[in-house]
Chains A and B, each alone.
Chain A
């Protein structure tokens, strides 16, 4: 039913300041009360972000190999156990850290644009090419691009600064 001003009183309410969502529409892990999303990972090969759990496991494996080399003559069994368990423990601990202790989402950079080309609804990296993600609510252009983000935070870039557009995966 519409009023004289053509307002549909029964239409779904349109949220003026929508929260960032995952690609599949779900609520992202690591969405903070301030409206930005904590993310994990810092390496992306093409379109594929490299799992930070895998990186933690690889770092643990390298460390374990060196430790095992130092131990193998004196404690060969311990050296073997260290080599096998350290990567697993490293990966699991990091996974627990990023899912339980400090939840964070996996994100993928999909494009870049100039700051003065940002539009409401864009999901962007707030600091460079990795790190937290916010959703643009409003863009005001003067000498700079003044951006209001979901949750009320504000960022200002020079108009020709490059901003990374990203999407939240899980």
Chain B
């Protein structure tokens, strides 16, 4: 740094004497070392601050509703919680999926499904709410590599329930999953949110609606609309009546499934199972 000299009569300190008596090269070296040291400290303080933010799962940048960017998912801690790394910057994002609500039961299965869908994949996040940078998980919609919506996928498969407060359009999706007894609605989560969602009146009825009174505690669980002691009346014939076995199989066979070993039975008793194919992808196949 520049120097303003001090009184010679009041004996200057050893540092000043060294500075004044040193040669110009020495002074330059000392000054450069000082400046470099200051730069290093500043840089370390600034950039380690970013690293700490990243370790907390925060983005370290201001994100706003509607922002969209890709991350590679590195850790999945729940069906609605994960951490991703932005490939370009290495910045870590903690994310919570909007519209998905983890059930208190069925957790291991839902986590397995979420890991299968997300872990190691490059997904696109669409920010739903301005982020509190560096501290909170971002509330996001997630677009899977094939372009499908993650929340819709897991709710449709019955892996998680819908948070209709966040995404109302997932309500009918969950109702359909419940009616078709997929995932946690197949009985693995008895009593969970029985009255949370009323199935839409236009939803096609299935065989599950013909049975069980509400006083029964055995599986299959009661369907929310069935509240009488009497067996439910046969649904009126409509254009959406129960599909035939071939049609039912056509809807599932060869399509992607989420949890290896999961079985599903058609109304006529044909069983399909979620099996890993030759390319390692999980697909529905006939059990036989």
B207 lies within 8 A of chain A by Cβ: no
Q: Is A104 interfacial (CB 8 A cutoff)?
A: yes
B39: chain A residues within 8 A (beta carbon)? 62-63, 66
Q: Does B47 contact A (CB under 8 A)?
A: yes
State how many angstroms separate the Cβ of A137 from the closest Cβ of chain B. Answer: 14
Contact A73-B27, Cβ < 8 Å, known A55-B1, A62-B35, A127-B17: no
The answer to whether A36 and B7 touch (CB under 8 A), given A66-B46, A94-B2, is: yes
Q: Please report the C-alpha to C-alpha distance between residue A73 and residue B22 in the assembled complex, in whole angstroms.
A: 42
Is there a chain A Cβ closer than 8 Å to B167's Cβ? no
Closest A residue to B4 using CB positions: A104
B9→A74 contact, CB < 8 A: no
Stretch at the interface among A3-11, A17-25, A40-48, A113-121: A40-48
Q: Report the interface size for chain A: residues with CB under 8 A from the other chain.
A: 43
Say how far B273's CB is from chain A's closest CB, in angstroms: 48
- Shortest C-beta distance, A24 to chain B (Å), equals 21
Contacts of B12 on A, CB cut-off 8 Å?
127, 131
5 closest Cβ contacts across the A-B interface? A70-B46, A52-B2, A128-B21, A131-B20, A132-B5
Q: List the B residue with the shortest CB-CB distance to A34.
A: B9
Q: Report B-chain residues with C-beta under 8 Å of the C-beta of A66.
A: 39, 42-43, 46
Q: How far is the CB of B202 from chain A (nearest CB, A)?
A: 49
Is B45 located at the chain interface by the 8 A CB criterion?
yes
Task: Return chain A residues, CB-CB under 8 Å to B8.
Answer: 36, 126-127, 131-132, 134, 153, 155
Q: Tell me whether A129 and B1 are in contact (CB under 8 A).
A: no
Asked whether B191 is an interface residue with its Cβ less than 8 Å from the other chain, the reply is no
Complex interface bits, B46-75 against A, C-beta within 8 A gives 1, otherwise 0: 110110000000001110000000000000
A39 to chain B, nearest CB (A): 5
B240 within 8 A of A: no
Assess whether B46 is in contact with A67, with CB atoms less than 8 Å apart: yes
Which of A34, A66, A71, A98 has the most chain B CB atoms inside 10 A of its CB? A66
Alpha-carbon distance between A74 and B8 when the two chains are bound, in angstroms:
49
Give Cα A39 to B2, complex, Å. 10
* B7 and A132 within 8 A (CB): yes
Q: Does chain A have a CB within 8 A of B3?
A: yes
What is the CA–CA distance of A119 and B8 in the complex, to the nearest angstrom? Answer: 20
Minimum CB–CB distance from B52 to chain A (whole Å) comes to 12
B61 contact set on A, CB distance < 8 A: 73-74
Q: Verify if B225 is at the interface (C-beta below 8 Å from A).
A: no
Select from chain A the residue with minimum beta-carbon distance to B20.
A131
In contact, B6 and A132 (Cβ under 8 angstroms): yes
Given A66-B39, A128-B22, A132-B6, 6 more contacts at CB 8 Å? A67-B42, A128-B21, A129-B24, A131-B6, A131-B12, A155-B8
Residues of A within 8 A of B19 (CB): 42, 130-131
Instruction: Tell me the smallest distance from the CB of A77 to a CB of chain B, in Å.
Output: 12
Q: A66-B39, A73-B60 are in contact. Are A43 and B24 (CB under 8 A)?
A: yes
Whether B287 sits at the interface, judged by CB under 8 Å, is no
Is A81 part of the binding interface, using a Cβ–Cβ cutoff of 8 Å? no
Q: Find out whether the CB atom of B24 lies under 8 angstroms from the CB atom of A52.
A: no
Nearest CB of A to B222, in Å: 53
Specify which chain A residues have a CB less than 8 angstroms from the CB of B105 in the assembled complex. none
The residues of A that contact B6 with a CB separation of less than 8 Å are: 38, 131-132
Q: Which of A59, A74, A133 contacts B62 (CB 8 A)?
A: A74
A-B contact pairs, 8 of them (CB 8 A): A36-B7, A41-B2, A42-B31, A55-B1, A59-B38, A70-B49, A73-B50, A132-B5
